[in-house]
Amino acid sequence: MDEFCDYDFSRIKETKIFLVGSIRYRDYFIKIESILQIKHEKLVSICSVDGLLNKEKFNNYEWDKLQDIAIRKLIDQEAILVLDVEDYIGEQSREEIDYFSKILKKSVYYLTDLKDS
């Protein structure tokens, strides 16, 4: 968890947080989920752990179903944290961000914005 000591996760005021980002950075999901839960007592959700770890094993239909479920899960969340590692945000993540910010009108945080200068 020390590798994220330069990030100020206390800026996230909401309790129920949904992590959004590319599966290519799955290690970030696992580590940041633990940081938010252990150090900041947040209730953290992601779409699918199996999807995160094993995307290549799903066919297009199954993957689309997981993405639909992710959108449905957003309704119950208070905020999302976008894991925009190396400033990368994938197309599916952008859809989740747009839905959350424009339709649900809830808070969106970006990992890069939480890094201390």
| 3-state SS, residue 105 | coil
The pLDDT, as a whole number, for residue 33 is 95
pLDDT of the residue at 108 = 97
Note the pLDDT tens digit of each residue in 70-108: 778 888 999 999 999 999 998 888 988 999 999 999 999
CA distance to 5, 29, 69, 105, per residue, from 65 (Å): 36, 20, 6, 24
Domain topology for 2-114 = Rossmann fold (3.40.50)
Cα–Cα separations (whole angstroms), residue 15 to 2, 45, 85: 22, 11, 23
Q: Are 47 and 109 in contact (CB under 8 A)?
A: no
pLDDT computed for residue 104 by the predictor? 94
Question: Angle at CA 30, nearest 5°, toward 94 and 69?
Answer: 45
pLDDT in tens, 9-37: 999 999 999 999 888 888 899 899 999 99
Which pLDDT belongs to residue 7? Answer: 96
Distance (Å, rounded) from C-alpha 91 to C-alpha 80?
A: 16
Q: Please give the pLDDT value at position 102.
A: 95
Domain boundaries, the chain: 2-114
pTM of the model: 0.85
